[in-house]
Amino acid sequence: MPQIHEGGCHCGAVRFRAANEPVRKAACHCRSCQRRTGSAFGMGAYFNESDVELDGELRTYEHRSDESGRWLKNQFCPKCGSTVTWTLELYPGLRALAVGSFDDPDRLAVSRHVWTRSRHKWFICPPGAQIFEKGSSALPAAG
């Protein structure tokens, strides 16, 4: 029986369901994620797109990286503005779900920190975390 993870936006107009375990879980410290979340970093759980079901209206904002030129498509609830999911050109076939939007976010501990060269200097990555000054490998690995 596969693991089922459920969640949604702040107002409840968008809901999702993801089967199985994520392929990758990461906190991204890039300036784009800082601006997108209004926080120190964004946290995503990356699932195979075929394992994710979305219910509700989403709007899309596409951003191109200043450094790589690759696209990132953020999808958010048009009612409350919560980012729920995104896809990246770097990871075809994967869909990220915002860790904070899960009904039980503690089930998805993040142990990978990427783009730490732009992290807030007061933030210290936890001991044992995988740390990448820039992005990590294009090939999703567990973790």
Asked whether residue 134 carries a pLDDT value surpassing 90, the answer given is no
Please state, in angstroms and rounded to a whole number, the distance separating the CA atoms of residues 14 and 30: 26
Q: What is the predicted pLDDT for the residue at 65?
A: 82
What is the residue type of 79?
Answer: K
| 41, 34 Cβ separation under 8 angstroms | yes
Enumerate residues 6+ apart whose C-beta is below 8 A from 22.
Answer: 45, 46, 47, 108
What digits encode the pLDDT tens for the residues 23-76? 999 999 988 889 989 999 999 999 999 999 999 999 999 999 877 788 999 999
Asked whether residue 22 carries a pLDDT value surpassing 70, the answer given is yes
Asked whether residue 123 carries a pLDDT value surpassing 80, the answer given is yes
Please state, in angstroms and rounded to a whole number, the distance separating the CA atoms of residues 8 and 52: 12
Q: What is the predicted pLDDT for the residue at 141?
A: 46
108 pLDDT band, cuts 50/70/90, is confident
The position carrying tokens 């509700």 is 56
